Amino acid sequence: MKRTIGIAIFAATLGMALSNASAQSKSTATIPFNFRVGSALMPAGAYTIEYTQPKVVWFRSLDGHETALALATTATGDAVPPAKLVFRKYGNQYFLSETRTSSNQSEMTFAPSRLEKSIRSEEASRRDEGQILVALK
């Protein structure tokens, strides 16, 4: 049942994205490191980033081999191409975090995946290793 609902939501989102293709905006970026869009691992390379709706972003490699969809948790205004992509870095892993406008204002934010939450938790515990905390009175 949950799988059917998930497929239906994905199909509806895809249908809306395709029906609004005329209103979409595109940007290109060369990303010099492997990164994650949600749970999808994307290799370093050149990408077309399409904003089909205010909260829907598609990443497509220029060679056509890689595609990922990101749903924003917040968005402002209409689907306009932002000027910057922002990634969170944990060790040597990068996760799409948000997009920003040319005036450096946050436009879209993306929820962390389970993997990112897990890695963030591990990183936080590593930072505490080797530290001695003393409570003040």
> Domain segments of the chain: what residues?
2-124
Residue 25 confidence (pLDDT) = 78
Burial zone of 42 (CB within 10 Å; 0-12 exposed, 13-18 middle, 19+ buried): buried
Looking at residue 137, what is its pLDDT? 52
Res 128: pLDDT: 64
pTM value?
0.70
pLDDT confidence of residue 73: 85
Per-residue pLDDT of the chain (137 residues; tens, 9 = 90+): 545 444 445 444 444 444 444 445 788 999 999 999 988 999 999 999 988 877 888 999 999 999 999 998 877 766 566 788 999 998 889 999 998 887 787 788 999 999 999 998 888 777 765 555 564 55
Which DSSP string do the residues of 58-116 spell out, in sequence order? EEEETTSS-EEEEE-SB--SS----SEEEEEEETTEEEEEEEE-TTS-EEEE-PPPHHH
What pLDDT shows up at residue 34?
96
